[in-house]
Each structure stands twice: as structure tokens, then as C-alpha cells.
Structure 1
């Protein structure tokens, strides 16, 4: 009888522990400061990008191929970044069920767009992240390859589930590219992440595609670096040494 009682108690304890394990992530807290994301340099040669570690603010497991199609709107906002010009407000959303940390992704977006080498360096625009319920000019989404392709296709852009895209008011970052960058990029993952944010947000600001200006030179941020550097060196920033860095427009 004593042995039977112990076995029953053990089973009850196991059921209690399992039932106490949460199956849904907790409430998304406001993001921390921009220091949560270490800004990359100007794209010097480095090792081929590796999948991110926990220190990158993202989980290191492989992304899911097909997510829920629903997005978690990140709470909180950021200070205004920039010295002059109209204010562009943006929201951040992360597809639910992907295992990604919405707060960490928002911090990466904030740090990139508030960097003095980003678009605010022009002195002609400012940026600020706002909470999900507030009015915004555009939203930055982190979406699985399946969802990003579907969203981009709604605007007539077919990415084959591989690239990110921008539609009016929507900057859609492909989760696979966010986690692994692209082959032969020859720069740290952080450089690619800053590049893809600046590139797609650049489209939102009216920028067009540009070409590599010559072998060994930094790639313009509006070059389609995801498809290859064509002799240029990876670069994440539209402003280098305080000047707008650009290539010839691509017809």
C-alpha cells in the first residue's frame, strides 16, 4: 500500500509540472535601448555568416517554413532619431509561432534606423518607432518565407520565398535571410541584417536600386546585395564618412 501511494503521488506531481508549463509566450514587453543591438561596421571582409547565437538576440534554431500568418505587434516605442525633416513613424511586427523574440527584433530595427550612418544622416528626415496601436507611416514585419512571399505577391512582387520586399507602408523582412543571410556574403550576419533593413526602408523613403560602382568598392545599400555583390564589398549603410554613398541607378 505504501509503495502504491508513492507511485500515485509521483504521477500527480508529474501532471502538475506539465500542466504548469506555459504553451504560449508571455506578453511582449517594451523594447530596451538601442544598445541591445551592436551596430556593424562598413562591411569589411569577414567570415561567411553563421547562424545567429543567443547573443544576437534571436534563437539559433532553424526557422519554420510556414508560420501562423499572424503578427505580434511589439509594445512600446523609441525616441525620435534624426536632426531635421519630417518624422516617419513605424511599427514592428513579428510573425507568431516562429520562435523569434519580437522585442529583440524591434531593438535591431531601432538601432539600425537610428544609427548616424543610416538614412537620418541626411538631416532631412527623422524616425521613431511607435506602439502597435498608434498611427504609423509604415510597419516592419519579420515573416517566414511562406508568409513573406504571400505578402509580397499581394503587391505584385514575387520573391520565391527567398528575398525580402517592400510594399507601400510595409517593409517585409524574410526570416530565413534574417537568420542566415546569403551564401558568399563574406561579412558578419549583423552587417547583412543592417543592410536588409536599410535597403527595404530605403525603398519606403523613395530610393531606387543602384549598381556596384566597381570591384573592391563598398556595395551601395540600395544595391541588391542579396542576389550577389558583383565584385563589391558588403556594406550596410547609405552614408559613409558622413556622405551619401551611392551607385548608378539600375534601369
Structure 2
């Protein structure tokens, strides 16, 4: 038995001699650093002490290295410092994802949340902005306004009540009832436009004294509207016979004059009791009714700009020699510019107002049109 124990001790000493290379193997006990080095030698085949000689050649690499295989050996009071972590701990799937993608792993959740918020905002109707089609945004309604209920926007069908009499004056802004009966010339001139094969015509733009044009953009804005209308290729300059130029000095061929309601009735007559414009050949004055300039006409369905263009073109047409009015010629087509569109675009309506006129009672109805040559 002692021989067996001696052989076991010899083998144990041999094992310790191979596993230890520092002087602490002399029996004084390992230092804490050396003990940790041995414990951390993971994956290396190490022979352990077997005082009974039963498992001298057993492979213990799969066993916990801190276990003692000699339960009868005296307990060595070895001071152990805190054990450091063994390399890299096994990571979870989330940990591996973060290690792989770095900062992007944190950015992706943020982007996801932002995307969800944008989609929800779009579905619920986000604030409007100024886009490529040119519409202004009004932002979101305040919670108080939204909860209180909002009156619906007016319908956009552009139709006036059917019981309004033809030629009736639409509702709208204020106008001048009585002016001074005198006019002042708006300063400014325009270069000649049009071919002028037969006629070179000059005109002035004038405003009746007593008319406040500040609500219309001022005198200059009125003059620019006249100039831009007549110089448009859809206007009378399309006909190569004519050339036009605006002057502010000297005697013009005709005077385009914005005129109050009372002065218009004096210059144009009021046999048909409807506000309208005219050309007075004795005065060589194109009389533009300020009432209609402000309010327009029912047939134009609220399009004030187009009505002003019609006013100018229709009355200048009389000034340059087109004295007769015209009826609607094609049912559903564009009205001729010399049709009395202020009274309406239905032949029957105009014929009822002026039974002795040139317009027949034939049931034709046209669409409003401000131009002599609408297709340019």
C-alpha cells in the first residue's frame, strides 16, 4: 500500500512539475496569481492529483477546474482575489446585432418611430404647405376650433341662384355711385403693338374724378389691365389691320375711361335698366362701368378678371368699328366677344330684354368668352 502511495505521489509530483514552472511549487502553496493562471487554462489537458491511484490517466478537461479531487487533503487557506471575467461572455441575439451594426443598431429604431409618426400624420391630415401647384397652406386647426365644429366651405359649382333676373348685378365690393363727371389721364405710355397694316390707333387710360381706385390696386393697376388685355394675341391686335399704342400726352383716337354709375348712365343711356358699359362716339370715350368692373356679371360666374377683359375688348371693338352686337351662334360654344354677355349668354334672355335687337329667340346658349380671337 505504501508503494502504491509512493508511486502516486511520484506521479503527482511529476504532474505538478510539468504544470508549474515557477518557484512557488516548492510546497509553500501557490500565489493567488499563479492559482488564477492555472484556473484560467481552459481547454488545456491537465492531470490532477489522484492520491488513491484510481484515475491517474483520466481526462478532466471537461470538469470544473475549481473542484478538488482529493476531499481528504487539508484545506489550503488561499486568499483569492476577485476572479476576472473569462474572455468574452456569450452574447444574446440583441448583443450580437449591436456588435455587428454599431451605431446603426440605435438609429434603426429611431427611424422606424419617425416613419410611423409620419405615416400617422399623413393619414390624419398633416399641415398643408406652399407646393408645386401654388396653393397656400393654413396649418392645422387648433384643438378648440376642431372640437367646436367648422362651417363647411362654400360649394365650388360656380352657379348662381336660378331665380335671379338676367343681367342682375352680382353681390360684391363697394363702388362709386356718383363721380365728378370729369376724368384724369393715368400717367404712362406703351410701345405700339400689332401689325397696323391699315390702322394705327392711340388711346389713353383715364379715371373719373371721385372714384377711389385704392381697392382696385390704384390707377396704375387699372391701366396695366387695359394694356395687358389689348396687347394679348387673343385681342384685337391679332388682326393685322390694327396697331395700338397708349399715350398720356396729346389727343388720342379714343379714351378708355373707368366711370361711376351715374356718369355711365348719362353717357350710355339707361333704356334697358341694367348697369352696363358703352362706347360714346360723340365723346370718343370707351365708358367702362366701375360698377361692373367691381362686381362683374352673372354669366361670368364670379370670374372678375375675365369679365374685365370682356369689358375692355367689347367696348374697344365698338370704338374700332364693330358697331353691331352678335348672338350666340353655336349652342354650347364660346360666345362671340360682341355678344352682350353682361346681359347673359343665352339668346332668349337677351332677346327678351331687347325684342327689336339682332338676337333671335332660338334657345341657344353659349359659354362666356372675353376674347375676339380666343384661340389666338
State TM-score, norm by structure 1: 0.68
Corresponding residue for residue 256 of structure 2: 140
Q: CA deviation at 1:185?
A: 2.4
Is the 1:149–1:161 contact (alpha carbons within 8 Å) kept by the matching residues of 2? no
Corresponding residue for residue 183 of structure 2: 71
State TM-score, norm by structure 2: 0.46
Is the 1:187–1:234 contact (alpha carbons within 8 Å) kept by the matching residues of 2? no
Q: Distance in 1 between matches of 2:308 and 2:338?
A: 14
Q: CA deviation at 1:63?
A: 0.7
Provide structure 1 residue ranges, at least 5 long, that are not aligned to the other structure.
1-44, 50-59, 243-251
**Greater relative contact order (Cα < 8 A, sep 6+):** 1
| Alignment pair present for 1:199 and 2:311 | no
Q: Distance in 2 between matches of 1:48 and 1:177?
A: 18
Matches within 5 A, 1:140-179: 140-153=256-269, 158=271, 160=273, 162-168=275-281, 169-179=284-294
Query: Cα RMSD (Å) of the superposition?
Result: 2.1
| Alignment pair present for 1:188 and 2:188 | no
**1:182-215 deviation digits (Å, cap 9, x = unpaired):** 1242251111110111000001111121110122
How many aligned positions are there?
184
Matches within 5 A, 1:232-243: 232-242=366-376
Q: Which of the pair has more CA radius of gyration? A: 2
State which of 155, 158, 169 in structure 2 corresponds to 1:47. 158
State which of 212, 221, 227 in structure 1 corresponds to 2:328. 212
1:191/1:46 CA distance change after superposition, 3 Å: farther
Q: CA deviation at 1:176?
A: 0.6
State which of 326, 337, 341 in structure 2 corresponds to 1:225. 341
Q: Distance in 2 between matches of 1:163 and 1:184?
A: 13
Is the 1:143–1:174 contact (alpha carbons within 8 Å) kept by the matching residues of 2? yes
* Partner SS state of residue 190, structure 2: coil
1:99/1:159 CA distance change after superposition, 3 Å: farther
Q: Distance in 2 between matches of 1:187 and 1:220?
A: 19
Q: Distance in 1 between matches of 2:331 and 2:184?
A: 42
Corresponding residue for residue 97 of structure 1: 210
Q: Distance in 2 between matches of 1:92 and 1:75?
A: 8
1:184/1:202 CA distance change after superposition, 3 Å: closer
Q: Distance in 2 between matches of 1:48 and 1:134?
A: 46
Q: Distance in 2 between matches of 1:200 and 1:124?
A: 18
Q: Distance in 2 between matches of 1:184 and 1:118?
A: 20
